[in-house]
Amino acid sequence: MTEHQDRTGAAYDGVVEPYASMFADRLETRPFARAMVAAFAELVRGTGNLRTADAGCGPGHLTAMLNELGLDAFGLDLSPGMIDHARRAHPGLRFDEARMEVLPVEDRALGGVLAHYSTIHTPPGELPALLAEQARVLTRGGLLLVSFFATEGPEPVRFDHKVTPAYSWPADRFATLLAGAGLTVFARLLHDPASERGFLDAHLLARRE
């Protein structure tokens, strides 16, 4: 299970500065994604548990955004280079090296988990375990916002991501996996792609019951 994680971490270590520069706008040019993140933050605030993990935080731009939206957010990423950049860019926030399949968080400890295009490199056979781990750390009523590339076909599609191979998913199939992890999807947004890949952009908002 660790082979693809090692490859992914090494690949992102090699693109830290250009990747951080590319996403420095923190969704200012992506109104749909920004709206979903804002709705997620509002709902997490409503739980009374502000602790939120930005799982696969990369350079930390969305971790900072979540904190500005009133959450007690911290970032986790498997790339040491990304974590080092995030700590330098946002010295007042917490960032730790970790794999999403083994989160360094106690059971039912968090009000929210953000997974912004951070599950896309996980092979389909390993995704259920990753989602179960995200559900594990959520308190009852806690929220998960997961964003990914969506395909209109019936099966996940492997494609050549600019950094390392990734997968797009049928939104309904992904929602079924979330249900299997004990999460109830109550809002979804699919919209035309923001890139040349041609996949839809998908955002699923789920709650742990």
Q: Would you state the structure tokens that stand for residue 192, as one six-digit string?
A: 């035309």
What per-residue confidence (pLDDT) applies to 4?
A: 67
Q: What is the pLDDT of residues 192-202, one digit of tens each?
A: 875 666 789 99
What per-residue confidence (pLDDT) applies to 83?
A: 95
- Cβ atoms of 203 and 147 within 8 Å: the answer is yes
Going by C-alpha positions, the residue among 63, 95, 64, 97 that lies closest to residue 79 is 97
Q: Which amino acid is at 72?
A: D
Tell the residue number behind the tokens 């099966």, with chain if given: 155
Domain that holds residue 20: 2-208
What's the average model confidence in pLDDT over 80-99?
Answer: 95
What per-residue confidence (pLDDT) applies to 56?
A: 95
Rounded alpha-carbon distances, angstroms, from residue 3 to 57, 120, 122, 156: 20, 15, 11, 20
Instruction: Compute the mean pLDDT over every residue in the chain, rounded to the nearest whole number.
Output: 91
Prediction pTM value: 0.93
Overall domain count for the chain: 1
Q: Would you state the structure tokens that stand for residue 151, as one six-digit string?
A: 């395909």
Cβ contacts of 160 within 8 Å, gap of 6 or more: none
Domain CATH number, residue 71: 3.40.50.150
- Whether residue 178 is predicted with pLDDT greater than 70 in this model: the reply is yes
Q: What is the pLDDT of residues 12-70, one digit of tens each?
A: 666 668 776 777 677 888 899 999 999 999 999 999 999 999 999 999 999 999 999 99
